[in-house]
Structure 1
């Protein structure tokens, strides 16, 4: 199981990759068979092609992430972060919960946000 420090470092690399527009840096943090649910309640996106497309679209839309609090670890295989996504004309307050595999790759990402968390 990855350590708390490894999980936090991976989530910081996720934010940094996103903000530098490096889709490959972000998607490379995920296992090939990872699942992304954004937002929770939507159907899951599964596998490398779906994840590459999802993050490619988000980065090309000009999305930037700013942490609202320090990244949180756990006593298990999950870490979470509260942040704001800013895209032209909109801001969304989000909490992502990531589950990690033994190799330190993200195997599941769940984005928690709802209609009340969107500002235009």
Structure 2
């Protein structure tokens, strides 16, 4: 199982990839058969091809992520609060908590994003 430091490094790489607009750097963090449910309650994307398409579209919006506090880890999970800033038709902000579940190799096997209309400002 990856260490706390390993999980934090994955989260930091994820945030940095958005800053660079690099979906391939994000996809490399995921296991081949991983799932992404963003937001929770929406259909999950399964596998790297679907995950790549999701992140290409997400990054095309110009979204920038900022960590809002420390990464929390327990067992095979990491949870982290962050804000997403978008700038189209004025500045928009979404406050999100993501969870990553890791396999023994340190790859993300499940990502879930928690946010809803009450967490969206400027829309």
Where structure 1 has 5 or more consecutive residues not aligned to the other structure, the ranges are: none
Offset at residue 105 of structure 1 (A): 0.4
> 1:72-98 CA deviation, whole Å, 9 max, x = no partner?
122x00001100011124211000000
Secondary structure in 2 aligned to 1:73?
A: strand
> 1:32-88 CA deviation, whole Å, 9 max, x = no partner?
1100001111111111111000000111110000111111122x0000110001112
Give the TM-score normalised by the residue count of structure 1: 0.96
Alpha-carbon distance in 1 for matches of 2:107, 2:45: 16
Give the TM-score normalised by the residue count of structure 2: 0.93
Alpha-carbon distance in 1 for matches of 2:33, 2:86: 28
User: What's the counterpart of residue 99 of structure 2?
Assistant: 97
Aligned length: 119
User: What's the counterpart of residue 58 of structure 1?
Assistant: 58
Tell whether the 8 Å contact from 1:79 to 1:99 is kept in structure 2 after alignment.
yes
After superposing on structure 2, the runs of 4+ consecutive aligned residues of structure 1 that deviate more than 2 Å are none
Alpha-carbon distance in 1 for matches of 2:104, 2:2: 6
Secondary structure in 1 aligned to 2:40?
A: coil
Where structure 2 has 5 or more consecutive residues not aligned to the other structure, the ranges are: none
Secondary structure in 2 aligned to 1:58?
A: helix
- 1:110 paired with 2:109, answer no
Tell whether the 8 Å contact from 1:77 to 1:100 is kept in structure 2 after alignment.
yes
